[in-house]
Structure 1
Amino acid sequence: MAEQRIPPTPTNFAIWFQYYAGSHNDLRNAIDLLIDHNRPFDSRTNQDLFETYIAPQVSAVVVETSERLQALMGAAKEFLATAIADNHSQMQAINEVADQGKAGVDPKALVAQLMNELARAATRATRLEAGFEEKTRELDVIRDSLTKSEQRALTDTLTGLPNRRALDEFLRKAQTMADWGEPLSVLLLDIDHFKTFNDNFGHGVGDQVLRLMAKVLREKVRPQDLPARYGGEELIAVLPDADLAACTDIAERIRRAIGECTITRRSTGEVLPTITVSIGVAQYRPGEPTADLIERCDRALYLAKGGGRNRVVTENELDRAEAAG
């Protein structure tokens, strides 16, 4: 941690303890990739690592929901117990009326008594039904809360894009389909000179830029694709049923669209310098770990950076460059 200049916070200790314990392969691969490419472990990257790989999945919402469900089940049991007891009382009262009928009691009195018991039973049933309807509404609220909680757990708070957890889940499913012969490609996008931009204009403006990049990415990929935040200023898109050429075309559309964006500083109205991005593109090779696919994207991305930025580089160009050099 000292070597990587990582602050000794509890969350950072948790990350690196798991890294050296070797019990979390995905975490180890992610950190190794960052180290191999000399990526800084800034506060945003550290937070992404913690939220993606370390943070417990049981949130405060889940705990609260569990408590509400316990209370709801307790109320339901009480309702059912009341219904059973009322049913027994009603049956007993009707049996008594029947016995009185056998004993020759005035039929008018028996009818009045029976009507009274039935009215009481109807009142109890109405109260019971109202109680169950109330608890059903409460159950709907709990279900909606769980759905929203799950959505938040899969969403990056800054950009609104799916996060690394959602990306990993989507990649696993896409890989399964690709192993049966469907093409699968990935593009990895990095904002050019983003650190300088942050230093000159501040992190608030940097966050505004990231949100804009996320919006463009979301708009330019297809409905079946998954755009996500990979970490820091890097965004990623997974494109099922897309070969390298199709993915490259989409990457070029994204690059051009971002270059055409006008970014205005909200506080002053100042028009900021044009933002450009470098993009690496690679296609899945059946049977390979998805980490290898993303690693090729990353290497292609860095070739784009080294070649002058504001360009798309595919794994084919990467292979030629590595063969030549």
Structure 2
Amino acid sequence: MNTAVAPKVQIPDVAGQITYAMRSMGVAPIPRNYQLFYEAYIGSNPALTRELAALGGQVTQAELDALGAQHFTHSPARVFDDAHTRISGELDGLLRILRQEQNSLESYTRLLGETHKRITSKSNASVELIENAIELLSQATGDTMAHGERTVENVVQRSQEMDQVRKELDEYKRIANTDSLTRLSNRRAFDDRLAAIFDNSSMRPVTALLLCDIDNFKKINDTYGHPVGDKVLATVASVIRSNVRRDIFVARTGGEEFALIIDGNTPEEVTGIAERIRRTLETTPFKNSRTRVNYGPVTVSIGICMASNAEDAGELYSKTDIALYGAKNAGRNCTILYQDGMQKDFTKSWLIYKT
């Protein structure tokens, strides 16, 4: 193993690159615009990326809003605002119910106290008084219990309503973190999962990041069109998912790039997993069942880096990308494990507004 000191790698600043792209196009730095550029940057929606690039160097807010309305059926800000409004309404209603219950119990307590005084007063002791007191207490107790039952029912109903809002938010989060084409996790979910690796230092020696990139994918799109390219992406995603354990995190992180985060395995075991994926894809037929047109062979290049070789998520991604570039440079359709001293002799352009 080469033990030379690795050169300092440049850690991608995703937020900075997106902000720079927006500033270069004269776009206002507001949340809904950032969402558009983020989705275009990560490449999970190729149509959005193409349409945003087609707007050119100067774009109006109306054009951006029209693009957002076309591609985002639910704005995250609106979804959470609606949820906040609904939960606030349910909580207000719940507080009103509890205040009414408190007032009812206070009235009942006062009645008990007054009746107790009358009964225990020797000057008012009589059978008629006691009978009246018992009748009054029976009625008040019954009313209080009925009111309490209604309160319980209302509280349960309000709680169910809030639980429904929570379930809807959970479902929205799942959808927001899922790539619509491949049904894998998307770049947003990947960024969160990648950062979480460094929350537990003891797991880093047995945690790995894999970047898997389809070889010559542009040629597939150019030759057969984007619909075929989309089918290839979906098939590759299915093959990857079916060849790894259920607990392994798999995401589509860009146009034709996939990422896997594997916990609890040695570098040799991780390399074995990567090779199983690569060999399976290498032998998977990519044909049109109707026309019998063969779109293959479809192969992938894979880069691997163990988390123990990086100080943070950005460095882990950069070093894995270096290994991936090494696999491409070695002729494609192979797996490279990052080693100290590896270098990447090119700079990837992240300016999404350039064609």
TM range (shorter): 0.7 to 0.9
User: Pairwise mapping of residues 48-87 of structure 1 onto structure 2 (< 5 A)?
Assistant: 59-87=77-105
Distance 1:262 1:17 in 2: 41
Partner of residue 247 from structure 1, selected from 265, 270, 277 = 270
- TM-fit CA distance, 1:284: 3.9
Residue type matched to 1:118 in 2? T
Relative contact order (C-alpha < 8 Å, sep 6+): which is higher? 2
Residue type matched to 2:109 in 1? M
- TM-fit CA distance, 1:127: 0.8
- TM-fit CA distance, 1:58: 5.2
Residue type matched to 2:95 in 1? K
Distance 2:344 2:22 in 1: 38
Contact 1:227 1:235 in 2 (8 A): yes
Q: Are residues 154 and 112 of structure 1, via their aligned partners in 2, closer, same or farther at CA, if it must alter by over 3 Å? A: same
Distance 1:66 1:233 in 2: 37
- C-alpha distance after superposition, 1:105-142 (max 9, x if no partner): 61333322221111111111111111011011112112
Residue aligning to 1:185: 208
TM-score (norm 2): 0.68
User: Pairwise mapping of residues 230-309 of structure 1 onto structure 2 (< 5 A)?
Assistant: 230-265=253-288, 268=290, 270=292, 272-274=294-296, 275-309=298-332
> Are residues 1:149 and 2:167 paired?
no
Distance 1:314 1:287 in 2: 14
- TM-fit CA distance, 1:214: 1.7
> Are residues 1:160 and 2:160 paired?
no
Partner of residue 126 from structure 1, selected from 129, 149, 154 = 149
Residue aligning to 1:174: 197
Distance 1:165 1:318 in 2: 30
Distance 2:95 2:313 in 1: 49
Distance 1:288 1:18 in 2: 30
- C-alpha distance after superposition, 1:31-85 (max 9, x if no partner): 9xx9xxxx9x96566899xx9xxx9x95322111100111011101110121122
Number of equivalent positions: 291
Equivalent residue of 2:181, what SS?
Answer: coil
- C-alpha distance after superposition, 1:272-308 (max 9, x if no partner): 4232222223334545444343334334333433444
Residue type matched to 2:22 in 1? F
Distance 1:100 1:219 in 2: 79
Distance 1:214 1:118 in 2: 65
Equivalent residue of 1:262, what SS?
Answer: coil
Q: Are residues 154 and 215 of structure 1, via their aligned partners in 2, closer, same or farther at CA, if it must alter by over 3 Å? A: same
Distance 1:133 1:162 in 2: 35
Distance 2:231 2:242 in 1: 17
Distance 2:206 2:241 in 1: 21
Percent of residue pairs bearing the same amino acid type: 27
Distance 1:74 1:288 in 2: 47
- TM-fit CA distance, 1:241: 3.7
Contact 2:249 2:262 in 1 (8 A): yes
Compare 121-130 and 207-216 and name the one that shifted more: 207-216
Long gaps (5+) in structure 1: 1-11
Q: Are residues 195 and 317 of structure 1, via their aligned partners in 2, closer, same or farther at CA, if it must alter by over 3 Å? A: farther
Contact 2:209 2:317 in 1 (8 A): yes
Residue aligning to 1:201: 224
Partner of residue 17 from structure 1, selected from 14, 22, 26 = 22
Distance 1:47 1:117 in 2: 70
